[in-house]
Amino acid sequence: MDVGRLVARSMRRYRDRIALDGPEGASTFGRTGSRVMQLARGLRALGLETGDRVLDLQSNQNTYIETDLGISTAGLCRVALNYRLHPTDWVRIATDCTPKVLILDAKFWDEAEGVRAMVDHVIVINGGAGGADGAAPYERFLENQSTEPLLLNVDPDALVSLNYSSGTTGNPKGAIRTHRNRMASLHNIVT
Domains of the chain by residue range: 3-190
Q: Is 30 exposed, middle or buried (0-12, 13-18, 19+ CB in 10 A)?
A: middle
Q: What is the separation, in whole angstroms, between the first and last Cα of the chain?
A: 15
* Residue-wise pLDDT tens digits, 48-100: 999 999 999 999 999 999 999 999 999 999 999 999 999 999 999 999 999 99
Euclidean distance between CA atoms 130 and 116, whole angstroms: 13
Which residues, 6 or more positions from 189, have their beta carbon under 8 angstroms from its beta carbon?
none
pLDDT band at 181, cuts 50/70/90?
Answer: very high
pTM score, whole prediction: 0.94
Across the beta sheet with 101-105, the strand order is 136-137, 121-125, 101-105, 53-57, 77-80, 159-164, 174-178
CATH number of 3-190, picked from 3.50.50.60, 3.40.50.10330, 3.40.50.980, 3.40.190.10? 3.40.50.980
